[in-house]
Amino acid sequence: MSSNHSDFLNIIYCQPKAPEKEKDPLSERPPYSYMAMIQFAINSKKNRHMTLKEIYNWIEDHFPYFRNVAKPGWKNSIRHNLSLHDMFVRETSPDGKISYWTIRPEANRCLTLDQVYKPLVDTVTPTCPQIPQVGFNKQQKRGPPELKKAIPPTGGTERKMKPLLPRTDSYLVPIQLPLGQSLFLPSSSPATLATPPHAPSSSTPSSSGAIKRVRIAPKVSQMMLCASTSQDIKEEPVSVSVTPEALPSKTRQQENSSSRRKQRLVLPATEEPVLLYPDSTLFDSGVVSDVSTFQDTHDPEPEPSCKPDPDSPNREYTFKTPIKSSHPSSSTPSKLPAVLEPWRITPVRKGGVLDFSPIRTPSGPQLTPQRHEHTPFSFNSTPFKELPLFSSPRELLTCSRPSPRRSNATCSRELLQEGATNRSLTEGLVLDTMNDSLSKILVDISFPNLEDDDLGMANISWSQFIPELK
């Protein structure tokens, strides 16, 4: 667990095999979910909308990992996320030619990368991942072991990234502490692989096989600021005020709680959901004021960071030119029964390289990726979920048109401030009808005394200082 020294360990464990790939600290997988990164990307544009291609580029530019090590399937994931989360909406240019992706304003928390970038990398941590853990062997995914690609120090990603607080969804609690560094660095922190943050906590150290789990990203994605709104009412609405001093030693863990949240709660049966909760005086608890680095207040104008800032012809037009080929193989992974000579035979075990190789043979090759092994076997536990999103119920109640203003309200003021405003009955039905948006509480707790490295196994449980959370 003693961080650092990882350099040494790396040398030992990282067989000269596999020509780097992950080695470059800049090419480490960022601790953000695709949903979060897409938001970073889109919000970096003043127009607040981007074409798919621009999103790809923005992400590659800011997170070398995707350009250098990620499998081509990452683009499929981006598309998947755009479609899946209704927070992302596709619009079409007036001329119907191009279509961009935007963030539903009512749901836009205006997450931007610079908000999570750590001002400075004060720690001495070599930022070298891999933990001593036993084998640290193969098994993970690793893109094909080839194509170095001369990782250009492309602008961004210099500062250490501050991961979004994982699993943060505690309701109604716009918390914001002193603001320090990161609380927990999922993927890059050497402690990550040490022991599953939570894990069975029992036979954990049993055998060997540090498989390098894929570390599921925070889950948040649309937090980081304030904006609460009960939503999914009926469940003990609590207002809390965190006292950082109280926390024991755990660093990461559950941020929310209350019986697997996300539910539409009971109702003795066909009963009318009688909204019953404090109403207001709930959202002002958090600190949310000293939000230094946060810039959301008014007109979500430009973006301090994000030098590239596409929009300029250039990126968009690398289009048809097969030149830009960061990675050869194309997006959507497929497994067409037929057509697969190209690779097929080569049992490219571990890291199947795929860059410089044959330029996409016309009829999508794609060797059947050697299906997993199929042999689950394991036993685990369970968790909770987020909440629907909504488009300002007040307006609906007013029987007026949905978006009186909207032009320059890119970062929905509601989400950021309308904390404990009037919430009515309709919410019970309206709110839990929508998706990813509200209900996500923006919590950005930072404990100055905790550095990214010394987060071995620390666990912070809201319930520890928030009794109301049951």
Partner DNA sequence: AGGATGTTTATAAACATTGGA
Partner DNA sequence: ACTCCAATGTTTATAAACATC
Phi-psi category of residue 76: left, alpha or beta, with phi > 0 → left and psi -120 to 50 → alpha: alpha
Which partner in a copy of itself, Mg ion, DNA, none is near 169 (CB below 5 to 8 A by kind)?
DNA
Q: Within 328-347, which residues bind DNA (CB under 7 A)?
A: 330-336
Q: Which is nearer to DNA, 63 or 283 (CB)?
A: 63
Which partner in Mg ion, a copy of itself, DNA, none is near 34 (CB below 5 to 8 A by kind)?
DNA
Provide the mask over 253-272, with x wherever binding to DNA is found by CB under 7 A and - wherever it is not. Answer: xxxxxxxxxxx---------
Q: Within 386-445, which residues bind DNA (CB under 7 A)?
A: 386-387, 436
- DSSP conformation class of 444: B
Kindly state the tokens that stand for 332. 């959507």
Place of tokens 């853990």: 133
Among 49, 71, 104, 423, binds DNA (CB under 7 A): 71
Kindly state the tokens that stand for 233. 């009412």
For residue 160, CA distances in Å to 84, 185, 319, 452 come to 29, 10, 31, 10
Q: Which is nearer to DNA, 406 or 470 (CB)?
A: 470
Q: Which is nearer to Mg ion, 86 or 454 (CB)?
A: 86
Query: What's the half-sphere exposure (Cβ side, CA atoms, 13 Å) at 266?
Result: 8
Smallest separation, CB 282 to a copy of itself (Å): 21
- DSSP conformation class of 219: S
- Cβ neighbours of residue 347 closer than 8 Å, sequence gap 6 or more: none
Bridge partners of residue 444, in order along the sequence: 176
For residue 229, CA distances in Å to 283, 376, 442 come to 8, 39, 11
Residue 298, Cβ density class (10 Å: 0-12 exposed, 13-18 middle, ≥19 buried): exposed
Q: Within 91-150, which residues bind DNA (CB under 7 A)?
A: 96-97, 99, 101, 141
**Residue 252 found at the interface with DNA (CB under 7 A):** yes
Residue range at the interface with DNA (CB under 7 A); choices 16-24, 72-80, 105-113, 296-304: 72-80
Residue range at the interface with DNA (CB under 7 A); choices 114-122, 145-153, 282-290, 365-373: 365-373
Contact 71, 253 (CB under 8 A): no
Q: Which is nearer to DNA, 47 or 280 (CB)?
A: 47
Smallest separation, CB 174 to DNA (Å): 17
Contact 159, 115 (CB under 8 A): no
**Residue 372 found at the interface with DNA (CB under 7 A):** yes
Smallest separation, CB 385 to a copy of itself (Å): 6
Among 206, 270, 289, 380, binds DNA (CB under 7 A): 380
**Residue 322 found at the interface with DNA (CB under 7 A):** yes
- Cβ neighbours of residue 83 closer than 8 Å, sequence gap 6 or more: none
Q: Which of 15, 25, 105, 27 is nearest to 407 (CA)?
A: 105
Smallest separation, CB 259 to a copy of itself (Å): 8
Smallest separation, CB 155 to a copy of itself (Å): 28
- DSSP conformation class of 407: T
Smallest separation, CB 232 to DNA (Å): 9
Among 155, 178, 196, 467, binds DNA (CB under 7 A): 196
Smallest separation, CB 240 to DNA (Å): 14
Distance of CA 341 to the CA centre of its chain: 37
Residue range at the interface with DNA (CB under 7 A); choices 8-16, 109-117, 210-218, 389-397: 210-218
Rounded Cα distance between 72 and 354, Å, is 9
Kindly state the tokens that stand for 89. 């909406």
Sites of contact with Mg ion (CB under 5 A): 86, 88
Q: Which is nearer to Mg ion, 52 or 397 (CB)?
A: 52
Q: How many CB atoms lie within 10 A of CB 255?
A: 25
